[in-house]
Amino acid sequence: MEKIIKIKNVANLDKKISSCEESLKNKFTGKNGKRSITICGGTGCISSNSKDILAEFQKQIKLENLEDKVDVNIVGCFGFCSQGPFVKIYPEDTLYHAVKVSDVKRIMDIDIKGGKIVEDLLYVDPNTNKKCQRQEDIPFYQKQMRIALHGCGTINPECIEEAFGYDAFKALKKVLTMSSQEVIDEISKSGLRGRGGGGFPTGRKWQFAKDQKNDEKYVVCNGDEGDPGAFMDRSILEGNPISVIEGMMIAGYAIGAKNGYVYVRAEYPVAVSRLKTAIKEAEEIGILGDNILGSNFSFRVHVRLGAGAFVCGEETALLNSIEGKRGMPRPRPPFPAVSGLWGKPTIINNVETFANIPYIIRVGALKFSKIGTEKSKGTKVFALGGKVKNVGLVEVPMGTTLRELIYDIGGGIPNNKQFQAIQTGGPSGGCLTINELDTPIDYDNLIAKGSMMGSGGAIVMDEDNCMVDVAKFYLEFICDESCGKCSQCRIGTKRLLEILTRITNGTATIEDIDRLDNLSHSIKVGSLCGLGQTAANPVLSTLSKFKEVYLRHIVDKKCDAGVCKDLISYVIDPNKCKKCSLCSSSCPVDAISGVVGKEPFVIDQSKCIKCGSCIASCKFKAIYKE
């Protein structure tokens, strides 16, 4: 960063924004006389060596003496995670996918120096076989709309100058000309609902806190994203942390708070580092601190790390954790808006909610409210994963159907398998089947279908998934993560898991179906917090929609998906067996016997551990599961 010049008033801010916008525009268009290389720096691409790719570009640029003609930096998540790491070249907007360190020299020689495209690094649309040079040409992006993910994959998250050039703090400037009530009214008119899972109207929550008479109030950002397979909040913090900080500042102005806390998982080191960098830069430049822009408004942001307890995603448990107490839920009322952090009025919204706030203020509540459905406005970010071709981070307008999410954006199910279900809402949600693929995604529709929005996890399952095993997986997670405060949750979920285990190992009875249902409802009504109240949802959902699968396990002792090991057998077809002994050689427990070249091989079921090594080793497809 250049010499720091403090932003002391609106005139300084206008000048800063104008300068940074011009600089960023020149970078994207090449008017600064440079080619610009941006590399995905989300956690997924970092794990695929994007930092090494960055280092190699820097090395090659230096070797070629191109420092004055080429710059290179890291940006946030591009979203299309299964195709990363991504490298984007400006001003042509050429997007290369699945880039390796060994590709860097080719990109430098062919593209940067030669002015031609490295054709084999372009994404190929599997439906048309057309090579896609630009991001907008790729079907994965064409039904998306980035609001919460604004700036992710475009700006350097560790450079506040680029954030200024990409709309940062325009909303704050506007807010400082409004009364606190006008700000809350604008958020209420927008129809924004909490993106953390509950869907509570954001404006109403802020109004409750504003109406409290207290000299000390707090704003808390919930970044404790614990759902298996979820990485929405992490990616926002990694890609544009300034947007979250600005959203918190606007919330602080609206309710009369001077301090905000971001509670984020310690397992997110990249997000934590970039968040802290953004806070430091904002403080140094004077946009965070006392008398912001010469006004009477002062605000500071603090970071608190969570130790990984799933229950700390529940807002009152999170407050306890910030206070240094054990992360366990508090009885409500009083609600946090009345008595929250250290007994003071507190609003708690999640990362995605705060990331929406600057956009709403910039464009106006009316424009935002035109996006989405009647009761669910705006967009929603999903972490789309599981048995789907295009795994990644997706932001779509509310009202987009599950079919569009899975097939148009997700590319459908790989290996020509049949879609079976999609689990939304993580451990607290439920599964939706092929009969519900045309359901518009919003808060009320998902609940009506037996699931929920949750924070945005969306796990797709195909015909090879056993739905009883899926319910068991989520119950194992819940049992591990229960804080233990409520006996219904602490003991009840363990009993549920025991029943599911009996079903999957073939020792259950038909009466266990009723036990599952009764116990699930008891846990639902008897638990203190939302996590306990929804702990049995995966059981209730799968039991409702896949009861025949449960019965098949219990009555016939069969798992048709071939997942539950105690209910399957590996069998060698004697007519297909070539008597070659490959299966016998691969068996780790000597469960397969036969005479090479003379007798078909057979599997001793009493010894077989169902590891599948025999199927993997057989070249003649003579072994199958039944």
Please report, rounded to a whole number, the percentage of residues in the chain having pLDDT higher than 90: 93
| pLDDT value of position 1 | 41
Residue 237 has pLDDT above 80, yes or no: yes
Q: Which residue spans within 76-227 are E strands per DSSP?
A: 87-90, 94-96, 123-124, 131-132, 218-223
Three-class SS state of 35? strand
Q: Which residue spans within 125-182 are E strands per DSSP?
A: 131-132
pTM of the model: 0.94
Q: How far is CA 458 from CA 232, 317, 386, 443, in A?
A: 11, 25, 8, 14
Q: What angle do CA 135, 137, 139 make, to 5 degrees?
A: 100
Average pLDDT, the chain: 95
SS (H, E, C) 414-481: HHHCCEEEEEECHHHCEEEEHHHCCCECCHHHHHHCCCCCCCCEEEEEECCCCHHHHHHHHHHHHHHH
**Which sign, positive or negative, has the C-alpha torsion 618, 620, 623, 624?**
positive
Ramachandran area for residue 49 (φ above 0: left; ψ -120 to 50: alpha; else beta)? left
| pLDDT value of position 256 | 98
Label residue 581 exposed, middle or buried (CB < 10 Å: 0-12, 13-18, 19+): middle
Return phi, psi of residue 312, to 5°: -70, -5
What mean pLDDT comes out for the span 393-399? 97
Tokens of residue 360, six digits: 């709403």
| pLDDT value of position 3 | 62
What mean pLDDT comes out for the span 370-376? 96
At which residue do the structure tokens 């290369």 appear?
A: 96
Residue 326 has pLDDT above 70, yes or no: yes
Residues 6+ apart with CB under 8 A from 509: 554
Please report, rounded to a whole number, the percentage of residues in the chain having pLDDT higher than 70: 100
**Dist. CA 364–CA 378, nearest whole Å:** 12
Give the model confidence (pLDDT) of 533-557 as tens digits. 999 999 999 999 999 999 999 999 9
Three-class SS state of 571? strand
- The answer to whether residues 591 and 603 touch, using CB atoms and an 8 Å cutoff, is yes
For residue 333, cis peptide bond before it (omega within 30 degrees of 0)? yes
**Dist. CA 56–CA 44, nearest whole Å:** 19
| pLDDT value of position 379 | 97
Give the model confidence (pLDDT) of 213-233 as tens digits. 999 999 999 999 988 888 999
Alpha carbon 598 to chain centroid distance? 56
| pLDDT value of position 350 | 95
**Dist. CA 361–CA 348, nearest whole Å:** 19
Q: What is the DSSP letter of 515?
A: H
Residue whose C-alpha is closest to residue 443's, from 404, 385, 474, 399: 399
Give the model confidence (pLDDT) of 574-593 as tens digits. 999 999 999 999 999 999 99
| pLDDT value of position 249 | 98
Count of Cβ atoms closer than 10 Å to residue 14 Cβ = 13
Count of Cβ atoms closer than 10 Å to residue 45 Cβ = 25
| pLDDT value of position 159 | 96
Give the model confidence (pLDDT) of 489-528 as tens digits. 999 999 999 999 999 999 999 999 999 999 999 999 999 9
| pLDDT value of position 41 | 96
**Dist. CA 489–CA 567, nearest whole Å:** 29
What mean pLDDT comes out for the span 24-28? 96
Task: Give the type of residue at 207.
Answer: Q
Alpha carbon 606 to chain centroid distance? 43
Terminal-to-terminal C-alpha distance of the chain: 64
Give the model confidence (pLDDT) of 443-484 as tens digits. 999 999 989 888 888 999 999 999 999 999 999 999 999 999
| pLDDT value of position 229 | 83
Residue 117 has pLDDT above 90, yes or no: yes
Three-class SS state of 385? strand
Count of Cβ atoms closer than 10 Å to residue 366 Cβ = 10
Alpha helices in 211-265 (DSSP H): 232-239, 241-255
Residue 626's pLDDT band (cuts 50, 70, 90): confident
Residue 2's pLDDT band (cuts 50, 70, 90): low
Three-class SS state of 125? coil
